[in-house]
Chains A and B, each alone.
Chain A
Amino acid sequence: MNLKEYKVLLLVFTSVSALFAASPALQRLLVYPQTDFFTEMWLLDPNHMTENFPFNITRNGKYSIFLGIGNHLGSCSYYSIQVKFRNQSQSAADSFNRKGSSLPPLHSISAFVADKEELEILISFSFNYVQDSHNETLSQVRFLYMTFNDSVLNLNDYAAVWDAEKSGFFGNLFFELWIYNGTVGVFQYHERFTGLWLNMTS
């Protein structure tokens, strides 16, 4: 083997070895920065699926769901989940205008989630309501209170009228996600919400 052949072999060997030695440093330099910063929010049924969400509910019947939050904001975040309830005509959260519902929250849940982590909260609830009749036909459902994870939330000002199109009394239990902004020191609507429509006809 002459020197020229050695040269090629040595060059290849040195290059491969240098690349191997440089790989830990390259790993740090060639990592693309995170460009999408967002929060996930989801609901799951009691079996951690999306098949058996409560819909037809009964008075004082107990139901449970899982509410999840996934943090992809690049740092630990402090969320407040505002629990709200409305009938079909009351203010809802709006995806297009990026605004939350103007209704006051019935309850707030504090949630801290580290970056790239998820948090799932088991939520159990029940509703107590009375059905008002007018001329022997049901005219409205008046809500009295709901239990939410064993806390009692007052629903005295809430009612649902008969929906002739869908033949039922419907209420929407929904959750708005708010995030703590440390710069201004307040919670701001984080443009995420999810919820369930519940049929209180039976």
Chain B
Amino acid sequence: MWRNKKPILLVIILLIFLTIFATPVWAGEKDAATAISSAKNEILNCYTAAKEAEVAGANIKVLVSNLNEAGSLLSQAELAYATNDFDAAVKFAVRSQDYLNGFIAEANTLQETAIQHRNQDFLINFVGSIVGTFAVILVGFAVWFFLKKNEMSRQK
């Protein structure tokens, strides 16, 4: 009788073993860690792009708002990970990355536009202003010489 039950018992033990040590939990954890790490890297790359755009003089309000949304999702992913809710962690991390789709391209466009504006602004306000100042001084001299010449010819 014991012989007949032995294979069944072995199967049950194997099933229990699989339930406890089965890979899905660990795979979930690994996936979640990878997704979070990937989302972190994406956020850092986007942050660097936004910072560069800001240094160039771009208005980065929209970019910062998107970064905050993505950061909030990443925080939720990390919280879910800490509570062993790996499915939610993956979901939030992927959503965080999705939120930043096209971010770097937008940041680069803003940066280029800002550089163009800055160059244009420099040309008009700085170079133009200095040229204008010299022009005013030159005109002042020209008027002075003209008046002096007139005065001298009148005296003759």
Contact = CB atoms under 8 A, between A and B. Distances in A.
Interface in B105-156: 124-126, 128-130, 132-133, 135-137, 139-140, 143-144, 147-148, 151
A75 interface: yes
Residues of A contacting B: mostly? mixed
Nearest to B151: A3
B71 A75 contact: no
A74 to B, nearest CB: 9
A10 B75 contact: no
B54 A115 contact: yes
Residues of B contacting A: mostly? helix
B91 interface: no
B50 interface: yes
Contact of B74 (A110, A117, A152): A110
Interface string B49-77: 01100110000110010011001101110
A17 interface: yes
A152 B129 CA distance: 61
B38 to A, nearest CB: 15
Name the interface size band of chain B: 35 or more
Contacts of A21: 129, 132-133, 135-136
A31 interface: no
A27 to B, nearest CB: 8
A25 B133 contact: yes
A76 B125 contact: no
Given A25-B125, A110-B71, 4 more contacts: A11-B140, A24-B125, A25-B133, A107-B79
11 contacts: A18-B133, A18-B140, A24-B129, A25-B130, A76-B54, A76-B64, A78-B47, A109-B72, A110-B74, A112-B68, A117-B61
Interface of B: 43-44, 47-48, 50-51, 54-55, 60-61, 64, 67-68, 71-72, 74-76, 78-79, 83, 124-126, 128-130, 132-133, 135-137, 139-140, 143-144, 147-148, 151
